[in-house]
Amino acid sequence: MTNAGVTRWLFEASAGLYAWMTAQPPWRDSCRRLMAGLPLADHTLRIVDLGCGAGSSTLELSRHRPHDSVVGVDFAGRMLRCARRRARGAGLDEPRLTWVRTDAAHLPFRANSVDAITGHSVLYLLPDRDAVLQECLRVLRPGGRILVMEPNERPVRVRDVVALSADPRFLLSIALWRPISRLYGRFAPASLEAVLRTAGFAGCEVSEAMSGLGLCASGHKA
């Protein structure tokens, strides 16, 4: 089975566990960190959350951007069903919040129709990262922003992880995230910036997050 096939099987099989692991404060804080780069506007923005999984990042977007339209996108049907249940339980239901099952390399949106794209722990898993980023450029409006959180390649001390949170859900999520991201490939700040810049994004910036566990990166469509 290819890496892409393993990833698809893993995410289909682990939807419930993934939802439980990511429903904790540090993970939600990292999702909110992504939002810091979202544009402010006097009109409704259309925001697409790539690889939304069980919905943690998408739900945070919807909670904190109540006047915007948020679309969660993922290829795993079980993840999306879990996300929908969580959204209903939180009182965050359609039409402002919607979910789409699709491949990120073939987004069902018109060109120049999206104001912002977010992604939490998505790029490092993609078998064809360049195709997905080109698709993001296609659907973003001129000036539209991409904001991603990805695993950082530098070592992080165990005591720094525990200092961030001793929540068992958080510790388990990091215990899985670190070896999986090492297998697929983590980023350094310079390499993540280069990925976005090479894809055609302008004004790319990268900073550390989650006590160095993650990297937040942003750029915009010229």
Instruction: Break the chain into its structural domains and give their ranges.
Output: 3-220
pLDDT at site 25: 85
95-147 pLDDT tens trace: 899 999 999 999 999 999 999 999 999 999 998 999 999 999 999 999 999 99
pLDDT at site 221: 97
Which residue has 């990925």 as its token pair? Answer: 195
Averaged pLDDT for residues 161-178: 92
Averaged pLDDT for residues 11-28: 76
pLDDT band of 8, cuts 50, 70, 90: low
Name which of 9-23, 58-72, 106-120, 185-199 the model is least confident about: 9-23
The fold adopted by the segment(s) 3-220 is Rossmann fold (3.40.50)
pLDDT of 3 over the 60 cut: no
pLDDT of 39 over the 90 cut: no
pLDDT of 12 over the 70 cut: no
pLDDT at site 2: 47
